[in-house]
């Protein structure tokens, strides 16, 4: 098992894909582990070297500590790049991972070759119309009810209506993975605090000249499309890709379209 270290925190990371390809660092969202990229890998790995890791407090990485700051998560991402011997990479973050990716590009521009931001937000009032009560309740009840019984509480906020009605087997696969990962409630709550404090709106203009693509689902109720639009508008030259019939989990709702958007960005940036 490959480990990267950010101070005392050890992070499990995976080096895959085409070793001769340009490196792409993937940063997952709330509670997710490196396994959560499974639906995207078939599109990216044939051409690119793919780096992915378990956030602190998830998977095989060390437990989360309080308070969890966005700077800590950025430091974790840099530690993975260092462990992989990668000076500069394309960075792809989704949801919470997209916020980390923004901060990584702002704090360490020399490490970022291009930026892909999926189902995420610039922060502040653009996070959502209201707090994510379903996620908060599920995190609080998980120690009592278990991950398997709390998953249905959040699934309606994650998937498009089409997926819920026509492809329930995909949701079942996601549920099995999440239950297997068993991310502690403490990690989810710590990550939610970091999300609530994220606000890059006044600084995003500094990303001018960096190739940036923002991908968002038109049916995302967790982080609504207006947040994706606001993010793209605040980054000079950023491209916005809206995926129809798609909620918050891009890979489950629109795997091929998401894969195509990611490859189009990477090939153009190359």
Q: What is the mean pLDDT of residues 130-148?
A: 49
- Of 129 and 208, which is predicted with more confidence? 208
What are the pLDDT digits (tens) for 162-190? 999 999 999 999 999 988 998 998 999 99
Nearest one of 27, 228, 16 to 126, comparing CA atoms? 228
pLDDT above 80 (res 113): yes
DSSP state of 7: T
C-alpha to C-alpha distances, 237 to 67, 181, 207, 234, nearest whole angstrom: 35, 38, 9, 9
Q: Alpha-carbon distance 115 to 112, whole Å? A: 7
For 82, the 3-state DSSP assignment is helix
- Of 131 and 41, which is predicted with more confidence? 41
Residue 256, C-beta contacts closer than 8 angstroms, at least 6 positions apart: 43
Nearest one of 118, 144, 147, 114 to 249, comparing CA atoms? 118
pTM score, whole prediction: 0.92
Question: Which of the four pLDDT bands, split at 50, 70 and 90, describes residue 132?
Answer: low
C-alpha to C-alpha distances, 107 to 23, 26, 81, 143, 164, nearest whole angstrom: 19, 17, 14, 36, 39
Q: Tell which phi-psi region holds residue 71, choosing left (phi > 0), alpha (psi between -120 and 50) or beta.
A: alpha
- Of 27 and 157, which is predicted with more confidence? 27
What are the pLDDT digits (tens) for 208-229? 999 999 999 999 999 999 999 9
Quote the Cα angle for 14-19-23, to 5°: 70
DSSP codes of every residue in 156-197: HHHS-HHHHHH-HHHHHHHHHHHHHH---HHHHHHHHHHHHH
Residue pair 198/223 in contact by the 8 Å Cβ criterion: no
pLDDT at 141 (0 to 100): 42
Q: What is the mean pLDDT of residues 100-107?
A: 98
Residue 130, C-beta contacts closer than 8 angstroms, at least 6 positions apart: none
- Say how many C-beta atoms besides its own lie within 10 A of residue 168's C-beta: 12
- Round the average pLDDT of the chain to a whole number and report it: 91
- Report all structural domains of the chain as residue ranges with CATH numbers, in order of start: 2-269 (3.40.50.1820)
Residue 183, C-beta contacts closer than 8 angstroms, at least 6 positions apart: 31, 32, 33, 57, 58, 59, 147
Q: Alpha-carbon distance 268 to 114, whole Å? A: 10
């Amino acid at each position: 098992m490959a480990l990267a270290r950010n101070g005392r925190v050890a992070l499990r990371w995976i080096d895959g894909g085409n070793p001769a390809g340009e490196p792409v660092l993937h940063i997952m969202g709330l509670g997710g582990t490196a396994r959560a990229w499974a639906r995207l890998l078939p599109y990216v790995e044939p051409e690119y070297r793919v780096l992915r890791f378990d956030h602190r407090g998830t998977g095989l990485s060390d437990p989360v500590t309080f308070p969890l700051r966005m700077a800590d998560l950025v430091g974790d991402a840099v530690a993975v790049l260092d462990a992989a011997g990668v000076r500069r990479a394309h960075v792809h973050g989704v949801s919470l991972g997209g916020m980390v990716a923004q901060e990584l590009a702002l704090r360490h521009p020399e490490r970022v070759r291009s930026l892909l931001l999926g189902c995420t937000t610039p922060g502040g009032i653009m996070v959502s119309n209201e707090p994510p009560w379903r996620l908060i309740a599920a995190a609080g009840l998980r120690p009592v009810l278990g991950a398997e019984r709390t998953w249905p509480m959040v699934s309606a906020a994650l998937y498009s209506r089409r997926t819920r009605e026509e492809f329930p087997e995909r949701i079942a696969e996601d549920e099995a993975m999440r239950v297997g990962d068993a991310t502690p409630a403490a990690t989810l709550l710590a990550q939610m605090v970091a999300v609530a404090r994220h606000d890059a709106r006044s600084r995003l203009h500094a990303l001018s000249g960096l190739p940036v693509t923002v991908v968002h689902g038109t049916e995302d109720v967790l982080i609504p499309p207006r947040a994706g639009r606001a993010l793209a508008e605040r980054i000079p030259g950023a491209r916005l890709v809206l995926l129809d019939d798609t909620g918050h989990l891009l890979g489950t709702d629109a795997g091929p379209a998401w894969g195509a958007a990611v490859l189009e960005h990477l090939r153009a940036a190359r």
